[in-house]
Structure 1
Amino acid sequence: MQDEIQLKLFFWIGSATMLFLALGIIFITVAYKAKVDRLNRIKSESLLIASLDSEKRERQRIASDLHDGLSGDISALKNYITILNSKEEDLFKKEILQEVSSVLSHALTNVQNISYNLMPPLLESYGLVSTLKSYFDRVKKLHTIKVKQYYFSEVIEIPSSEAYELYRIIQEFTNNMIKHGKAQEISMAISLNENTVCCEISDDGLPFDFKKNIQSSLGMGLKNISSRIKHIEAKLVQVPEQKGNKFQIILKSVKNVKNSNN
């Protein structure tokens, strides 16, 4: 009888030990996987930040080269053509020189637009609002589209890195709305609620589901938006609309945000 009790005791002790070891192995496995996932996430975030920072520096370099190099060369060449045209007496040659001058003017405008789109010069000097106003002025001229704008202040004091990413996000949305959504009107608004900045952009174009399209999209536009949203730790909300689209970029816990109108 005593031997039977001892056997049962050993059985339960052995079972408990095996169960404890199994739970321990499961716990270690789960903890290890969680650690690996966390390290991969940190690595992914670091690579994302490095990639976006590298892109910004490269944009600045190319924009500067275009503005200071190619743009200056075209302007100088256009001036030479103007001088030659003023001294030329042959009407046929004057017409040709005038055509060349017109082509150079068009090329200069294109170079300036490319340089501006790569890195808007107003962003560092005058801030986000002035840059957006200038950007939408160009959009209206290029695409004959109506743009409504509302800003709670002419000066929104947020870090330049966040202002840059917000500008790029809005630029990507605008390009998508015009190119794919065939929008005829775009509304842009930036509001402030305590220390939370909300950028809202809407249109009257073809509706699309951001989350659904980002999964199937082969282009980089929507993926760039998602990456930049993560980079500045913002939140993207698509507001349901009967017509068109409305998106909100919510930048929470913004430090030192001020309303200059107060």
Structure 2
Amino acid sequence: MILLEVTSPGNVSLVLFFGTIGMLALTIGLIVFIIFHQRKVIRYQQKLQRMEQDQQKLLLNASIRLQEEERQRIAADLHDDAGPLLATARLYLNENLVNLDKTTQLQSIYNAKQIIDDTIQLIRNISHSLMPPTLKNFGLESAVNDLFQKISGSGSMNASSRFHDYRERLQAENELIIFRVIQELVNNILKHSNASFIHLTQNTSGDKFFIRLHHDGRGITQNDFNKLNKSNVGLGLKNIQSRLKVLHGKIFFEKDMSQTYYKVTIELVKEEEDKLQEQD
């Protein structure tokens, strides 16, 4: 005997009804999931934007403070040193000078000349601190080599530098930025690391320009650098990053795998350098 299962129209309707309800629930659930996921993505992007804006504010404030400190230093040098020197020279060249005997006149003129010469040297030193003449006339390689020779000559640290393939000079303003970054890094190493040596190398690889500093003292890693940049301390490091930002450059801090020395790498894309030159 063959048994035939007959599905009634009512059962078919129930299956279609519950199937439709299930599909609607699945569709609604999927839509709700997409909406919540998009909101989560948007909130995450907004958080990243706020973090980036906060970082930009920190860098901007660091740059402003750096400029203000440099202005105050120059103003202090002129007020505290140049001002008194010129005032003293004026005393020697006062209106009563014509009434003095010839010997006294000559001595006063000589003293005033010596003071004026000292003032000229002071102003020259201030000018050199703003734009080192070696850097201006001979480029980054000569300026860095001169800096490291002076450090090594002081006897406080064994300092050396070597440029492997610096055949074409960068734009003068960009050389100054890199030189200031190197100065800041070197000053930090001299003050805080207690290192016995510091060595700088330069090389290029493809379209990238690298400056690397090695030392055997106390240093920081990239995590330390990132934390300091997000805090209210580490002004010198913020100054470094704000300067490199102008060049679209990067900086990396790491400890060698041998755990014997620290390395700081400055990376500059040469294409960005060319773009900056075209903009100027």
Match of 1:125 among 127, 136, 140: 136
Q: What is the alpha-carbon distance in structure 2 between the residues aligned to residue 82 and residue 156 of structure 1?
A: 51
Q: Where does the alignment leave 5 or more consecutive residues of structure 1 unmatched?
A: 88-100, 258-262
The alignment's TM-score, normalised by the length of structure 1, stands at 0.65
Match of 1:29 among 39, 44, 58: 39
Larger radius of gyration: 2
Aligned to 2:219: 208
> Displacement of 1:199 after TM fit?
0.5
In the alignment of these two chains, the number of paired residues is: 239
Q: What is the alpha-carbon distance in structure 2 between the residues aligned to residue 139 and residue 196 of structure 1?
A: 28
Query: Is the partner of 1:208 in helix, strand or coil?
Result: coil
Deviation string for 1:116-166 (max 9, x for gaps)? Answer: 66x444488344334434544554566733321222467753345543443
Deviation string for 1:97-122 (max 9, x for gaps)? Answer: xxxx9xxx8xx97x9878866x4444
The alignment's TM-score, normalised by the length of structure 2, stands at 0.62
Q: How does 1:1-262 map to 2 (within 5 A)?
A: 1-37=11-47, 39-40=49-50, 43-44=53-54, 46-47=56-57, 50-51=60-61, 53-55=63-65, 57-58=67-68, 61-62=71-72, 64-66=74-76, 69-76=79-86, 119-122=130-133, 125-126=136-137, 127-136=139-148, 139-140=151-152, 144-152=156-164, 157-160=169-172, 162-204=174-216, 206-211=217-222, 213-214=224-225, 215=227, 218-226=233-241, 228-229=243-244, 232-238=248-254, 240=256, 241-254=258-271, 255-256=273-274
Aligned to 2:98: none
How has the CA–CA distance of structure 1 residues 197 and 238 changed in structure 2, closer, same or farther, with 3 Å as cutoff? Answer: same
8 Å contact from structure 1 (residues 234, 252) kept in 2:
no
How has the CA–CA distance of structure 1 residues 164 and 11 changed in structure 2, closer, same or farther, with 3 Å as cutoff? Answer: farther
Q: Where does the alignment leave 5 or more consecutive residues of structure 2 unmatched?
A: 1-10, 94-102, 105-113, 276-280
8 Å contact from structure 2 (residues 251, 266) kept in 1:
yes
How has the CA–CA distance of structure 1 residues 113 and 14 changed in structure 2, closer, same or farther, with 3 Å as cutoff? Answer: farther
